[in-house]
Structure 1
Amino acid sequence: LLLLLGQLLALLGRGGAFYLEVRELEEKCFIQEIPDGTVVIGARAASPGLARPASRVLRGNGGWNLLARQYGPQGSFTFTSQSPGEHQICLHLESIRFALFYDGKLAIHLDMQLGEHTNDYTEIAANDKLTLLHLRVQQLVEQVEQIQKEQEYQRWREERFRQTSESTNQRVLWWSILQTFILVAIGIWQMQHLKSFFKAKKLV
């Protein structure tokens, strides 16, 4: 389930919206790879008739909780990633037995925006009184910053992959050496055992 939802979110790029169905007392999670220092904004809306809260848990790279909160029919969250890597967002539905039109599951609409997509440039232009040219320059600067974060994240992933590969190769090497040592030891033991056997039978 995690892999399926992770692939779905990957198809949406660095932001997007999708629907999912959560059953009563069920938890559904999806994984999003996020570079370091990236702003993430999410908004959730449940189907009409929700009478009980739904909780959201955000786990950072390493499995520790970044955010755990209960929401009503609608809710939003904002956070800035403190470390690069996979972040897990989980939705857990409390009891909805008294909700209207209850059919055992609830449709949830989740909208997520990452990086420069979280900025409302219309509001920024109005507040800072920017011209169209200045606003476009600011957009380009923020896009370049996001690209740099993505490049740093890819380098971080390559470094982790290299370390994992080196560690795996080292373990394989030591395991091969151990196997060779065991085979040599068994061979020596068999030779000594056969030599003693032949001497006992006076064959040598």
Structure 2
Amino acid sequence: MWSRSDAFLLVALISLLSPAASLYFHIGETERKCFIEEIPDETTVIVNYKVELYDPRSGGYMPSSAGIGMHVEVRDPDDKTMLSRVYSSEGMISFTSHTPGEHVICMYSNSTAWFSGSQLRVHLDIQVGEHAIDYANVAQKEKLTELQLRIRQLLDQVEQITKEQNYQRYREERFRHTSESTNQRVLWWSLLQTTILIIMGAWQMRHLKSFFEAKKLV
């Protein structure tokens, strides 16, 4: 039987395998920033962001005004738009993938009124899978004990690992099909080149034979 400490340790180890990304970037008036996330199917993704405006007087960044927001677009691996709307200067975006593969998240400012040679700094935090679940809220809503909550986290993480493994198998299958298709094309191209060389050689031999016969050399 596992003890509570064993379960907690396993949860901590598995959590290292789960994807999460936190960063910030600067954006100008006409700039559009896009990020690619490889996401398994049926996986929840939460994007937290915060926009700050450059202050030339202090040389730093300050909280942006209420009129500044971000237009966010999310496209799936088939280049279909999953989400496209304008959000405020700080907020959270949530969506669920339905197709495994590369999802593109693009962000750009919804207004150019604030530009005067300055820039915006956008803090971005992308949580994928079980990292997107607010377990404190889950524990409060379902009235779970600490051990029950840890087990719930463990089950969610195991499920996410299974999805990741399925996605890796999907990628391997696609790569194998691409490799087989490429090998077939290379084979057919080689056969075509060989056939062309044989035909050209036969034509040259026939032409030389006709030339020698015309010159009465044979």
Q: How much does 1:193 deviate? A: 1.2
Residues 1:24 and 2:29 aligned together? yes
What residue in structure 2 maps to residue 156 of structure 1? 170
The partner residue of 1:189 within 203, 209, 215 is 203
Residues 1:176 and 2:190 aligned together? yes
Distance 1:202 1:167, change over 3 A: same
Q: Deviations over 1:70-98 (max 9, x none)?
A: 123123211111011111111123442x3
C-alpha RMSD of the superposition: 1.8
3-state DSSP class of the match of 2:189?
A: helix
The partner residue of 1:82 within 91, 98, 117 is 98
3-state DSSP class of the match of 1:171?
A: helix
What residue in structure 1 maps to residue 151 of structure 2? 137
Residues 1:116 and 2:106 aligned together? no
Q: TM-score, normalization: structure 2?
A: 0.82
Gaps of 5+ in 1: 1-11
Higher relative contact order (CA 8 A, sep 6+): 2
| 1:15–1:114 CA contact under 8 A, matched in 2 | yes
Q: TM-score, normalization: structure 1?
A: 0.87
| 1:35–1:150 CA contact under 8 A, matched in 2 | yes
Matched to 2:163, the amino acid is: K
Number of residue pairs aligned between Structure 1 and Structure 2: 191
Q: How much does 1:54 deviate? A: 2.7
| 1:25–1:95 CA contact under 8 A, matched in 2 | no
Question: What percent identity do the matched residue pairs reach?
Answer: 52
3-state DSSP class of the match of 2:198?
A: helix
Q: Distance in 2 between matches of 1:188 and 1:75?
A: 74
| 1:24–1:94 CA contact under 8 A, matched in 2 | no
Matched to 2:30, the amino acid is: L
Matched to 1:78, the amino acid is: S
Residues 1:167 and 2:167 aligned together? no
Q: Distance in 2 between matches of 1:164 and 1:40?
A: 29
Which stretches of structure 1, 4 residues or longer, exceed 2 Å deviation after superposition? 48-54, 92-96, 102-105
Q: Deviations over 1:116-160 (max 9, x none)?
A: 111111111111111111111111111110111111111111111
3-state DSSP class of the match of 1:193?
A: helix
3-state DSSP class of the match of 2:114?
A: coil
Residues 1:36 and 2:50 aligned together? no
Q: Distance in 2 between matches of 1:135 and 1:166?
A: 46
What residue in structure 1 maps to residue 14 of structure 2? none
